[in-house]
A and B are shown apart, each in its own frame.
Chain A
Amino acid sequence: MKYLRNHIFLIFALVSILFSMEIYFLFNKIVKTYEEKIVKNYTVIVVSKKKLDNLKLENVSNIEQINITNSLKNLDSQLKSFNLDVNKIKNTLPYFYKLHLKNFPTPNSLDKLEKTLLKNPDIKRVESFRQNQNQIYNLLLIIKLVAGIFMLIILFISMLLIIKQLEVWKFEHSQRMYIMELFGAPFWFRSAILIRLAVVDSIISIALIFGIIEYLLSSEMYQRLLYQLGINVDINIFYDLSLFFFISLAISIFASVSVVLMKKDEVL
């Protein structure tokens, strides 16, 4: 109980930092996966007077000509009474193309692409259908931005908590470190107990954050969000936890070493 009381600030700060980072990473992954999904299904339609054989464009992975014969045949069967001449109509129609993109198009890149295409005198029209995906994507971008700001605020508040914890530790351990110093204990010897405590605090924080992430990822709310976005986000929890363990260890060891260094010029 005493241990928990003396370490609660650091553990709470570490869990807060790691949680906010996980939320940020998670939204990054959701946005990235959603972008990939959009790119996969997204095409820009180009209408041209002539065949576009040697068209080379930035961020365009593939140019596919749309075969309109089937569409015209369908039209003919539906409008039999009009007695359409499919071949004649086909010859009067322009060429239609689907442009598949390499990366997710931003509004700017779409503008640029449209302008480049329209510079070609043969191209009559470009349709990017940007409105269809923009709303959800912009919402995701806002959530990602909010998660980033949330992470920065949490980082700031957590640093204040860590400083508070350092003061508690300094008070608690200063006498012992002073006595060790009197007998010529080197820096590592004086810091050893604090570093050991820091490692334990990191392990406790990682265990807590593992529980929180597991709960979050299996929650109905999260599953529903992914379902509605029509994506499946692949999260390597062990990679994230390893990274978090390294981060929490670095923060807590930094805190421990700071206590020993702060003690240096103090005389009891």
Chain B
Amino acid sequence: MSNSKIVIAKDLYLGYDNTIVLERSSFYLERGEFVFLTGASGEGKTTIIRHLYGELKPKSGYLNIGGFDMNKISGSKLTTLRRHIGVVFQDYKLIKEWTIDKNVKLPLMIAGVSEEIQNREASKLLSKVKLAHIADKYPYELSGGEQQRAAIIRALIHQPVMILADEPTGNLDDYSSKLVMDLFKFANKLGITVLIATHQLPVDFDVRYRHFHIEGKKLHEVS
């Protein structure tokens, strides 16, 4: 994953089942960029995100992520690719029977990192987002904002090359949304490419970003 372009799409058609949500689109994402993907509900933001972490295969066209051709990627290579990507969802997707601490450590456990490093990294990041005192609690014992902060920590703890977030502030109040956005900025400062799919751009966003908008099955960059 040494190229500066982390995502390359050419003449891409994306969709699911018999539905096409994106037609003949070409774009790229550079390493370390902050990117917003906007569009109305049902336009296909989630479908694009799902293609970017390999849950769906492109209908046609070329999509390369981190050097992997997503049309031809094998199961084992997809597993490898996903270890370099962090994902964040509107509904957090924390493992409900695990504590926050264990949830946050999941990518490091998968990577086979020693327990000592897992504990150190989890403790450092949970302290940063002021969740250290509730590390041993279960997701259902936390507020939506706290769960989402934990989910973002989980997405960046293994220092991925890219974080994909699908409506990460969709269920949160303004205060929690701001905390969550601050976390994405922090991740981006570490050099991680951040792509956030949202129906609305945040106000007073003080980080340089690129903005893509999807409408009528076309994706265009807003200057």
Q: Which residues does A use to contact B, with CB under 8 Å? A: 175-176, 178-186, 189, 267
**Nearest 10 pairs of A and B residues by beta carbon:** A184-B82, A184-B83, A185-B110, A184-B79, A176-B95, A183-B107, A182-B87, A179-B93, A183-B110, A179-B95
Q: Which of A175, A184, A186, A189 contacts B95 (CB 8 A)?
A: A175
Distance A175 CA – B154 CA, assembled complex (angstroms)? 16
B36 within 8 A of A: no
List the B side residues contacting A176 at CB < 8 Å: 95, 97-98
Q: Decide if B182 is an interface residue (CB 8 Å cutoff).
A: no
B residues with a Cβ closer than 8 A to A are: 53, 55, 78-87, 93-98, 106-107, 109-110, 154
| Closest residue of A by beta carbon distance from B164 | A182
Contacts of B79 in A (CB 8 A): 184-186
**Bound CA span A176–B102, Å:** 13
Chain B: which residue is nearest A173 at the CB level?
B97
Write 21 A-B pairs (CB below 8 A) sorted by A numbering. A175-B93, A175-B95, A176-B97, A179-B93, A179-B94, A179-B95, A180-B110, A182-B53, A182-B87, A182-B93, A183-B82, A183-B83, A183-B86, A183-B87, A183-B107, A183-B154, A184-B79, A184-B84, A185-B110, A186-B110, A189-B109
Majority SS at the chain A contact face: helix
Contact of B96 among A175, A178, A182, A184 (CB under 8 A): A175
A residues near B109, Cβ cutoff 8 Å: 189
With a cutoff of 8 Å between Cβ atoms, the chain B residues found around residue A184 in the complex are: 78-85, 107, 110
Known pairs A184-B81, A184-B84; list 18 more (Cβ under 8 Å). Answer: A176-B97, A178-B93, A179-B93, A179-B95, A180-B110, A182-B82, A182-B87, A183-B83, A183-B86, A183-B107, A183-B154, A184-B78, A184-B79, A184-B82, A184-B83, A184-B110, A186-B79, A186-B110
Q: Note all chain B residues with C-beta closer than 8 A to A183.
A: 82-83, 86-87, 106-107, 110, 154
User: With a CB–CB cut-off of 8 A, which chain B residues contact A185?
Assistant: 79, 106, 110
With the chains together, A175 CA to B53 CA distance in Å?
17
Whether the Cβ atoms of A189 and B110 lie closer than 8 Å is yes
> Least Cβ distance of A185 to chain B in Å?
5
Q: For residue B106, which residues in chain A have a CB less than 8 angstroms away from its CB?
A: 179-180, 183, 185
